[in-house]
Structure 1
Amino acid sequence: MQTAVSLVAGVAFGLALAAPPGPMNAVIAEESVLRGWAAGARAGLGAALADFVFFVLALLGVVAVVERLTLLRAAMVFVGGLLMLYFAYGAATEARASYTEADAPNEGKGFRKAFVLALTNPYQILFWLTVGVGLLEPGTVDVLAPLSASLADVFVVRTGSPALLVGLFVGIGLWVTGFPAALTAARDRVDALAPAVASLSALVLAGFGAYFLYDALSVFV
């Protein structure tokens, strides 16, 4: 029973990590509506691979070391900001061209784009420094106990368990495949969705890129 609870909790954590709006989902959305489900899923897998890299680095303690090296972290964030601005320009160009899956160049760059951006995304690093480290350390969390004494031991999650970690990546996998499917289905019903999503993707990437550059440069000021 506890294994099943930990698995469900892991799926919930994975969805919580993958679903919030941000640069990764902007890339996935752009690839999905311009090039179809497979391209969107590949972009999602690129972001998921970066999470797996952070997972391994967290196990080895490297993520914590990077966070303590202020200049290295600032350099990573700065590079990430530049990349986001570059990809924002590309998304804006594609939005003006009003590509659809039939005529958009299927260059297969979504995987690499999302992977590189995710590796320089301070929010993902922060997740693995905080929540991620907590998930890896052996222990138990009685999720419902703080709400009421009568709910104690009803939903106990075993951190550090294989079931929790498997569930985490299952949740990420559900999002990076289901999100592109939903966008592709919606695009098929609304012809104007592709350029609109590409424009929104450009705005999101530009906004995060500018913020990351500001965050990185503030270290040196």
Structure 2
Amino acid sequence: MYVATVVVTLLAGVVFGLALAAPPGPMNAIIAEESVLHGWLAGFKAGLGAMTADAIFFVLAALGVVAFVERFPTLRAVMVGIGGVLMLYFAYGAARDVQSSFHAAADAEVRKTGTGFTKAFVLALTNPYQILFWLTIGVGLLDPGTLDVLAETPYVGASLAGLLVVETGSPALVVGFFGGIVVWITGFPAALVGAERRVNALAPVVAGASAVVLAGFGVLFLSQAVGTFVPA
């Protein structure tokens, strides 16, 4: 019975990690761009950068540091503003890659396959949505209670509420959560690379879409930061 409970909790954690990692956003924009321009390994490294930031947030949340940062709106606004500027900078880089092809990028820019990790890692550390997640839901993963897993899915959570409710306070839930993220950052780049091999025009399309997503979030984050200093 105990083993079955652990397995169910582990699988629920995997679903939770996938549900949070899969929706469109700045992290997946970077993973997509790196994957189609530099190959699977580059996309995986970008995903690993975002997951590393999540692991750091988990530790800081458990220690109470993330909650400490939230008590200082000015500090949080500065972090958000930095994230906005970085997203606009990376959006500019993605826009320059619109004319690139997968093979040209792979041949001429192999040395750049490690940059995706840094880009995703830095952006994740300044992403207010990730900070907010670890301040609320994430910090309670190890506290006894319950969690409506699918209700926390971005964009569609309200329609999925009540479908998968699990007990928190188990390390298996945390292990499954990060396991779900690993599944996504492994499979998503592989799917993109496989699709690009069949559709030659995919690389510039993905680069252009990544630029739009990053620019949009960059403007959003900067407006949030400015709003803290200049109230309406």
Same fold (TM over 0.5): yes
CA contact (8 A) 1:2 1:157 kept: no
Aligned to 1:133: 139
AA at the equivalent of 1:170: G
Deviation at 1:157, TM superposition (A): 2.5
1:10-89 matched pairs, under 5 angstroms: 10-89=13-92
TM-score by length of 2: 0.86
Aligned to 1:177: 186
Aligned to 1:166: 175
Corresponding residue SS for 2:13: helix
Structure 1 unaligned blocks of 5 or more:
144-154
Q: Deviations over 1:1-55 (max 9, x none)?
A: 2111111111111112211110000000000000110000000000000000000
Q: Deviations over 1:167-220 (max 9, x none)?
A: 000001000111001100000100000010000000000000011000000001
Q: Deviations over 1:41-100 (max 9, x none)?
A: 000000000000000011001111111210000000000000000000001101134453
**Aligned counterparts of 1:93 and 1:156: Cα–Cα separation in 2:** 44
* Residue 216 of structure 2 is aligned to residue 207 of structure 1: yes
CA contact (8 A) 2:100 2:203 kept: no
Deviation at 1:141, TM superposition (A): 5.3
Aligned to 1:150: none
CA contact (8 A) 2:37 2:100 kept: no
Judging changes above 3 Å, is the alpha-carbon distance between structure 1 residues 73 and 142 closer, same or farther for their aligned structure 2 residues?
A: closer
Aligned counterpart in structure 1 of residue 127 of structure 2, from 97, 121, 128: 121
Deviation at 1:142, TM superposition (A): 8.4
Aligned to 2:153: none
- Determine what percentage of the aligned residue pairs are the same residue: 69
RMSD of aligned alpha carbons:
1.8
Corresponding residue SS for 1:21: coil
